[in-house]
């Protein structure tokens, strides 16, 4: 009896996309919890410079391009059977590949992201699209210019896949995890007990600083660690203050004179 099998290549391509919308959907349901928001719902509706329908269309376009490139990459690097015969499951191997993948994607995204802020042409014509979301929300995490999506996310993801040596099966879990982390960083909420806030300094409040006018030259690191910001002097510390009408607000502790 023949069974219906779905390849790891297929799952590695489309599971992270499904995870993106499911995890974003959870935050949509929680978005009315004003006491945990980093910005009020009114600010989200009034300050952002792009409609939510345009954001959805932009994200779907980027995910379509990523899916096409992902399928091509999996075909070039080998089949599921090749991966199964060359890699045996091991927690240590999985941890090593995850750590390498995280470091590679963090390094790539920091320098590309920072350069897009330093280069006025690239910022005006490409990266400024993402910063139309002054008040970030979950499903806007991948709202980028298509070229930025290609450079920052797709190529960054491909490099982390290749340098870590992970198989398509491992990639399912790695890119799903990276997707959840990216969505969480843009969720606009500071929820008690959120493990990403506990284990990562790079979180929704940290990235919210970058989306504000005073923080656009700081906190470029994404999506996992803050090491490059600390090493290269672009780290902006902040405090979380309670707003009088509920919720939280990120406030910089110190801003350099050239800001």
Q: Is residue 233 part of a domain?
A: no
Q: Is residue 31 part of a domain?
A: yes
pLDDT at 254: 66
C-alpha 136: how far from chain center: 12
User: Model-level pTM?
Assistant: 0.91
Q: Is residue 228 part of a domain?
A: no
Whether residue 17 contacts residue 67, with contact meaning beta carbons closer than 8 Å, is answered with: yes
Q: Partners of 251 in the beta sheet?
A: 239
CA distance 188 to 185: 8
Q: Is residue 167 part of a domain?
A: yes
pLDDT at 31: 80
Q: Whose CA is closest to 259, among 233, 240, 230, 225?
A: 233
Can you list the residues of the chain whose pLDDT is less than 70? 1-5, 78-89, 254-259
Q: Is residue 26 part of a domain?
A: yes
pLDDT at 73: 86
Q: Is residue 15 part of a domain?
A: yes
pLDDT at 259: 45
Alpha helices in the chain (DSSP H): 8-30, 41-47, 52-77, 80-86, 91-118, 120-125, 146-148, 155-164, 168-185, 195-199, 204-211, 227-231
Q: Into how many domains does the chain fold? A: 1
Q: Is residue 42 part of a domain?
A: yes
User: Which residues constitute the domain of residue 50?
Assistant: 8-76+91-189
Q: Partners of 189 in the beta sheet?
A: 37
Whether residue 182 contacts residue 222, with contact meaning beta carbons closer than 8 Å, is answered with: yes
The SS3 of residue 172 is helix
Q: Is residue 48 part of a domain?
A: yes
pLDDT at 32: 84
């Amino acid at each position: 009896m023949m069974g219906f099998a779905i390849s790891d290549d297929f799952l590695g391509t489309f599971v992270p996309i499904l995870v993106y919308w499911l995890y974003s959907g959870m935050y949509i349901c929680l978005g009315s919890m004003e006491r945990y928001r980093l910005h009020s719902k009114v600010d989200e509706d009034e300050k952002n410079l792009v409609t939510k329908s345009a954001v959805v269309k932009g994200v779907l376009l980027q995910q379509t391009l990523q899916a096409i490139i992902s399928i091509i990459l999996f075909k070039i690097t080998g089949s599921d059977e090749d991966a199964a015969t060359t890699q045996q499951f091991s927690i240590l191997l999985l941890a090593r590949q995850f750590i390498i993948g995280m470091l590679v994607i963090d390094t790539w995204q920091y320098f590309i992201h920072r350069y897009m802020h330093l280069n006025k042409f690239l910022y005006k014509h490409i990266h400024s699209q993402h910063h139309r979301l002054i008040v970030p929300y979950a499903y806007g995490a991948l709202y980028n210019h298509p070229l930025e999506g290609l450079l920052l996310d797709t190529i960054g993801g491909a490099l982390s896949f290749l340098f870590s040596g992970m198989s398509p099966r491992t990639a399912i879990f790695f890119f799903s995890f990276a997707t959840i982390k990216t969505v969480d960083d843009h969720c606009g909420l500071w929820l008690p007990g959120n493990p990403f806030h506990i284990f990562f300094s790079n979180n929704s409040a940290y990235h919210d600083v970058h989306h504000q006018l005073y923080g656009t030259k700081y906190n470029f690191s994404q999506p996992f660690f803050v090491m490059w910001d600390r090493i290269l002097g672009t780290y902006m510390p902040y405090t979380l203050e309670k707003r009088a009408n509920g919720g939280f607000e990120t406030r910089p502790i110190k801003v350099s004179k050239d800001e």
